[in-house]
Amino acid sequence: MKIVEALNLTKSYEMGGETVNAIQDVDFVINSGAFVSFVGPSGSGKSTLLNMIGCLDKPSKGSLKVDGVDISTLNRQQAAKFRGETIGFIFQDFNLIPVLTVAENIEYPLLMVQNWPTNERQQRVKTLMEAVGIGDQANKFPHQLSGGQKQRVAVARALASKAKLILADEPTANLDHDTAFRIIDLMKAMRNEFDTTFIFSTHDTKIMDSAESLFTLEDGKLSQKIQGGQVR
Residue ranges making up the domain that contains 170: 2-227
CA angle, residues 44, 147, 93, in degrees to nearest 5: 35
pLDDT tens-digit profile of 40-60?
888 788 889 999 999 999 999
104 within some domain: yes
Classify residue 194: in a domain, yes or no: yes
CATH number of the CATH domain containing 199: 3.40.50.300
For residue 41, tell me if it sits in a domain.
yes
For the CA atoms of 27, 30, 31, 36, the dihedral, rounded to the nearest 10 degrees, stands at 160
Domain annotation covers residue 106: yes
What is the per-residue pLDDT across 151-171, written as a single tens digit (0 to 9) for each?
Answer: 999 999 999 888 999 999 888
Say how many domains are in the chain: 1
Answer yes or no: is 140 within a domain. yes
Tell me how many degrees the CA angle 113-115-117 measures, rounded to the nearest 5: 155
Q: Please indicate, yes or no, if residue 203 is contained in any of the structural domains.
A: yes
The model's pTM is 0.87
194 three-state secondary structure: helix
Contact 201, 47 (CB under 8 A): yes
Within a domain: residue 10?
yes
Q: Which residues in the chain belong to E strands, given as ranges?
A: 2-15, 18-31, 35-39, 61-66, 69-70, 87-91, 165-169, 197-202, 213-218, 221-227
Confidence bin at 34 (pLDDT 50/70/90): very high
Q: Is there a domain that residue 232 lies in? A: no
